[in-house]
């Protein structure tokens, strides 16, 4: 069996993945932060150039601390205090190769426990064979397609109808954003599923996929994964990565597409 040395686990590879994850997430938060009055309560607490606490008081999924490593235990209390001042509960993410027992001990002392895992998946695009698909996928290049993207996106994330207008207004600035490519999958002539490819520093990130519940289990996300990998290869990336709940449907779709597990993030949350 041949060994792919370019994707052999290493601290350098791990740091490249985290850097692109952070770049994409900050790019998303900057869109929300630009809303007059910052109603989403976006904030940042930088520890150093690669380690940061991210916050959105209205969107809990963004309340993450990324990039912790040995020696950062002395910053954990001030990060906790910062989140507490804003009535926010953070998730501290710890990754292999950057973990130190002192981090775990201090998080436990501060009332956190390891509550779950998140899978980081990876592949070199040329390893994925081209597969013909009958699913219609459009790259969002017009404002008309963007509106269809938004319809599928709010349906996929189960946004209540009374919030559709504001939610779409918050997401609409993604169109044309540097490094971003938006994709829309159609089913029965209707907008059905969405996904994002983010390219930064010769790395492709498969981000933020969603499917309208009416069109799930039809292979839309698998087709979107394959399309984005092909487009990332055309963009000249060294590799493509993504993240998923361990053993969830997204994880399985990535495996079906040919991606493989690179590492697990441990998620530490308040007890």
pLDDT of residue 8: 83
- Kindly indicate the confidence band of residue 1, based on its pLDDT and cuts at 50, 70 and 90: very low
What digits encode the pLDDT tens for the residues 73-118? 999 999 999 999 999 999 999 999 999 899 999 999 999 999 999 9
For residues 202 and 222, membership in a common domain is answered with yes
**Tokens at 252, concatenated:** 């399985």
Residue that finishes a domain, picked among 120, 142, 160: 120
Same domain, residue pair 45 and 147: no
The string of DSSP letters for 2-61 reads ---GGGS--HHHHHHHHHHHHHHHHHHHHHHHTSTT-TT-EEEEEEETTEEEEEETT-GG
Q: What is the pLDDT of residue 92?
A: 98
Cα atoms in the Cβ-side hemisphere of radius 13 Å centred on 3: 3
**86 and 139 belong to one structural domain:** no
Model pLDDT, residue 122: 97
* Residue 205 CB neighbour total at 10 angstroms: 24
Q: How many folded domains does the chain comprise?
A: 2
Q: Give tens-digit pLDDT for 202-249.
A: 999 999 999 999 999 999 999 999 999 999 999 999 999 999 999 999
List C-alpha distances in Å: 39 to 23, 34, 36, 89, 144. Answer: 22, 10, 7, 18, 27
Answer whether residue 271 is part of any domain. Answer: no
Which pLDDT score, from 0 to 100, does residue 129 have?
76
Phi/psi of residue 112, nearest 5 degrees: -110, 155
What span, in angstroms and rounded, lies between the C-alpha atoms of 168 and 200? 25
Does residue 188 share a domain with residue 111? no
**Which residue in this structure is represented by tokens 């990565």?**
241
Say whether both 97 and 199 belong to one domain.
Answer: no
The CATH number of the domain where 153 resides is what?
Answer: 3.40.630.30
Structural domain includes residue 247: no
Q: Could you say which of 74, 100, 120 is where a domain stops?
A: 120
Residue 30, domain member (yes or no):
yes
Mean pLDDT within 185-189: 94
85, part of any domain:
yes
Helix intervals (H) in 87-219: 101-109, 143-156, 164-171
- The CA distance from 184 to 180, in Å, is 13
pLDDT-above-90 percentage for the chain: 92
Go through 118-153 and write b for each residue having 16 or more CB atoms within 10 A of its CB, e for each that does not. Answer: bbbbbbbbeebeeeeeebebbebeeeebbebbbbbb
| Cα distance between residue 60 and residue 15, in whole Å | 24
The pLDDT tens digits for 28-47 are 999 999 999 999 999 999 99
Judge whether 269 lies within some domain.
Answer: no
Domain's final residue, options 120, 137, 155: 120
What pLDDT does 133 receive? 80
pLDDT at 131 over 90: no
**What does DSSP assign to residue 219?**
S
According to the model, what pLDDT value does residue 4 have?
Answer: 61
In this structure, are 129 and 231 located in the same domain?
Answer: yes
Phi-psi region of 23 (alpha: psi -120 to 50; beta: other; left: phi over 0): alpha
Q: Are residues 65 and 78 in the same domain?
A: yes
In a domain, 129, yes or no: yes
pLDDT for 132 equals 77
Whether 132 and 26 share a structural domain: no
Q: Is 187 found in the same domain as 150?
A: yes
- Domain limits for position 9: 5-120
Q: Nearest Cα to 64, choosing from 100, 12, 26, 109?
A: 26
pLDDT for residue 17 is more than 70:
yes
Closest CA to 64 of 81, 52, 48: 52
Q: Quick one: 93 and 166 in the same domain?
A: no
Burial class (CB in 10 A: 0-12, 13-18, 19+), 214: exposed
18 in a domain, yes or no?
A: yes
What would the pLDDT profile of 132-184 be if each residue is shown by its tens digit?
788 999 999 999 999 999 999 999 999 999 999 999 999 999 999 999 999 99
Q: Please tell me whether residues 14 and 35 are part of one structural domain.
A: yes
Residue 191: inside a domain? yes
Q: Same domain for 42 and 102?
A: yes
């Amino acid at each position: 069996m041949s060994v792919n040395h370019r994707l052999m686990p290493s601290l350098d590879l791990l740091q490249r993945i985290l850097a692109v994850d952070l770049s994409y997430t900050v790019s998303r938060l900057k869109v929300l932060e630009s809303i007059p009055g910052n109603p989403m309560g976006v904030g940042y607490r930088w520890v150093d150039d690669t380690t940061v606490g991210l916050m959105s008081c209205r969107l809990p999924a963004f309340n993450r601390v990324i990039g912790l490593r040995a020696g950062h235990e002395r910053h954990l209390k001030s990060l906790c205090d910062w989140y507490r001042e804003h009535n926010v509960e953070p998730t501290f993410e710890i990754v292999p190769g950057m973990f130190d027992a002192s981090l775990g001990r201090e998080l436990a002392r501060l009332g956190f426990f390891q509550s779950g895992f998140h899978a980081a998946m990876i592949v070199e695009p040329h390893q994925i064979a081209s597969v013909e698909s009958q699913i219609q996928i459009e790259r969002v290049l017009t404002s008309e397609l963007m509106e269809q993207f938004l319809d599928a996106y709010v349906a996929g994330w189960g946004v209540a109808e009374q919030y559709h207008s504001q939610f779409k207004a918050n997401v609409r600035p993604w169109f044309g954003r540097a490094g971003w490519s938006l994709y829309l999958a159609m089913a029965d002539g209707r907008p059905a599923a969405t996904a994002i490819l983010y390219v930064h520093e010769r790395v492709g990130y498969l981000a933020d996929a969603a499917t309208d519940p009416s069109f799930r289990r039809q292979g839309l996300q698998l087709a979107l994964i394959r399309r984005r990998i092909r487009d990332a290869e055309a963009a000249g990336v060294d590799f493509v990565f993504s993240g998923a709940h361990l053993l969830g449907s997204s994880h399985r779709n990535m495996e079906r597409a040919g991606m493989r597990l690179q590492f697990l993030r441990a998620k530490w949350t308040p007890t």
